[in-house]
Structure 1
Amino acid sequence: MNSLVLLVIGLAIFTAGYLVYSKYLSERVYQLDAAHTTPAHELSDGVDYVPTNKFVLWGHHFTSVAGAAPIVGPGIAVIWGWLPAFLWVTVGTVFFAGMHDLGALWASARNRGQSIGTLSGRYIGPRGRNLFLVVIFLLLLMVIAAFAVVITDLLIGTPSSVIPAWGAIAVAAVVGQMIYRWRMNLLLTTVIGVTALYSLILLGDRYPIELPESTLGMSPATFWIVALFLYAGIASVLPVWVLLQPRDYINGVQLFIGLGILYAAVLFSAPTVVAPAFNGNVPDGTPGLVPLLFVTIACGAISGFHGMVSSGTSSKQLDKETDARFVGYFGAVGEGLLALGAIIAATAGFRTVAEWEEVYSAFGNGGVGAFVDGGGAIVEGGLGLPASLSATILATMAVLFAATTMDTAVRLLRFVVQEGGELLKVNVSKSVATAIVLILGLGLTFSQGAGGEGGMRIWPLFGTTNQLLASLTLSIVAVMLMRKGRNAWPALVPLALVFTMAFYAAIVQLGNLYDAQDWLLLGLDLVIVVAAVWVAFEAVLSMRSARAGESEDAELVDRS
Structure 2
Amino acid sequence: MISFLICLALLIGGYFLYGKVVENTFGPDDRETPAVKINDGVDYVVLPQWKLFMIQLLNIAGLGPIFGALQGALWGPIVFLWITFGTIFAGGVHDYFSGMMSERNNGASISEISGIYLGGFMKNVMRVFSVVLLIMVGTVFAVGPAGLIVTLFKNGGSNGIVTTTLFWLIIVLVYYFIATFLSIDKIIGKIYPVFGICLIVMAAGVIIGIFVKPEYTIPELWDNFRSMHPKGTPVWSFMFITVACGAISGFHSTQSPLMARCMKSEKQGHFVFYGAMVSEGIIALVWAAAGCALYEVTGGLNTGLAEILANGQSAAIYDVCVKTMGKVGVALAMLGVIACPITSGDTAFRSARLVLADWFKLDQKKWKNRLLLCVPVLGVGAILGVGNALGAIDYTIIWRYFSWTNQTLAMIVLWAASMYLFYDKKNYWLTAVPATFMSAVSATYFLLGNECLGQLINHKAADGTIIYNTAVAYPVGIAVAALFLGIFLYTIKKRHTQPHYETLGK
TM range (shorter): 0.7 to 0.9
Q: Distance in 1 between matches of 2:501 and 2:377?
A: 36
Q: Is 1:411 the counterpart of 2:408 in the alignment?
A: no
Secondary structure of 1:245's partner?
A: helix
Matched residue type, 2:28: L
Aligned with residue 74 of structure 2, among 76, 79, 91: 79
Aligned with residue 360 of structure 2, among 395, 400, 421: 421
Matched residue type, 1:319: K
Correspondence list, 1:268-287, <5 A: 268-269=212-213, 271-273=216-218, 277=224, 282-284=229-231, 287=233
- Summarize the Cα distance change of 1:470–1:435 in structure 2 as closer, same or farther, 3 Å threshold: same
- Summarize the Cα distance change of 1:362–1:499 in structure 2 as closer, same or farther, 3 Å threshold: farther
Aligned with residue 236 of structure 1, among 167, 176, 180: 180
Aligned to 2:471: none
Q: Distance in 1 between matches of 2:104 and 2:115?
A: 15
- Summarize the Cα distance change of 1:269–1:449 in structure 2 as closer, same or farther, 3 Å threshold: closer
Aligned to 1:93: 87
Aligned to 1:150: 144
- Summarize the Cα distance change of 1:157–1:103 in structure 2 as closer, same or farther, 3 Å threshold: same
Secondary structure of 2:318's partner?
A: helix
Structure 1 residue 537 displacement after superposition: 6.9
Contact map agreement 1:105 1:324 (CA 8 A) in 2: yes
Aligned to 2:422: 482
Structure 1 residue 541 displacement after superposition: 5.8
Q: Distance in 1 between matches of 2:453 and 2:157?
A: 38
Contact map agreement 1:71 1:368 (CA 8 A) in 2: no
- Summarize the Cα distance change of 1:503–1:395 in structure 2 as closer, same or farther, 3 Å threshold: farther
Contact map agreement 1:76 1:366 (CA 8 A) in 2: no
Q: Is 1:441 the counterpart of 2:381 in the alignment?
A: yes
Aligned with residue 346 of structure 1, among 291, 314, 321: 291
Q: Distance in 1 between matches of 2:412 and 2:246?
A: 18
Q: Is 1:316 the counterpart of 2:261 in the alignment?
A: yes
Structure 1 residue 494 displacement after superposition: 0.7
Structure 1 residue 305 displacement after superposition: 0.8
Matched residue type, 1:396: L
Structure 1 residue 47 displacement after superposition: 1.0
Secondary structure of 2:261's partner?
A: helix
Correspondence list, 1:121-132, <5 A: 121-132=115-126
Q: Distance in 2 between matches of 1:49 and 1:542?
A: 36
Correspondence list, 1:105-184, <5 A: 105-158=99-152
Q: Distance in 2 between matches of 1:309 and 1:210?
A: 39
Secondary structure of 1:454's partner?
A: coil
Aligned to 2:468: none
Q: Distance in 1 between matches of 2:226 and 2:321?
A: 21
Structure 1 residue 420 displacement after superposition: 3.9
Matched residue type, 1:374: V
Identity %: 26
Q: Is 1:26 the counterpart of 2:20 in the alignment?
A: no
Give deviations 1:241-276, integer Å, cap 9, x for gaps: 110122111111222222222222233225224799
Give the TM-score taking structure 2 as reference length: 0.84
Correspondence list, 1:198-213, <5 A: 212-213=159-160
Q: Distance in 1 between matches of 2:211 and 2:424?
A: 47
Give deviations 1:417-438, integer Å, cap 9, x for gaps: 3334349xxx992112111111
Contact map agreement 1:21 1:94 (CA 8 A) in 2: yes
Contact map agreement 1:274 1:352 (CA 8 A) in 2: no
Aligned to 1:467: 407
Structure 1 residue 8 displacement after superposition: 1.7
Contact map agreement 2:230 2:302 (CA 8 A) in 1: no
Contact map agreement 1:232 1:410 (CA 8 A) in 2: yes
Aligned to 2:474: none
Give the TM-score taking structure 1 as reference length: 0.77
Matched residue type, 1:23: K
Secondary structure of 1:429's partner?
A: helix
Correspondence list, 1:231-310, <5 A: 231-269=175-213, 271-273=216-218, 277=224, 282-284=229-231, 287-310=233-256
Q: Distance in 2 between matches of 1:366 and 1:6?
A: 28
Secondary structure of 1:317's partner?
A: coil
Give deviations 1:297-341, integer Å, cap 9, x for gaps: 110100001111112x11000111000000001100111121112
Contact map agreement 1:149 1:452 (CA 8 A) in 2: no
- Summarize the Cα distance change of 1:359–1:443 in structure 2 as closer, same or farther, 3 Å threshold: same
Matched residue type, 1:345: A
Correspondence list, 1:368-383, <5 A: 368-380=314-326
Q: Distance in 1 between matches of 2:295 and 2:454?
A: 38
Q: Distance in 2 between matches of 1:478 and 1:364?
A: 40
Q: How many residues align?
A: 470
Contact map agreement 1:146 1:456 (CA 8 A) in 2: no
Secondary structure of 2:400's partner?
A: helix
Secondary structure of 1:123's partner?
A: helix
Q: Distance in 2 between matches of 1:116 and 1:63?
A: 18
Contact map agreement 1:349 1:375 (CA 8 A) in 2: no
Q: Which moved more, 1:115-124 or 1:317-326?
A: 115-124
Aligned to 1:195: none
> Which sections of structure 1, spanning at least 5 residues, go unmatched?
161-207, 381-385, 517-532
Q: Which moved more, 1:64-73 or 1:447-456?
A: 447-456
Structure 1 residue 124 displacement after superposition: 1.5
Q: Distance in 2 between matches of 1:245 and 1:555?
A: 27
Contact map agreement 1:14 1:333 (CA 8 A) in 2: yes
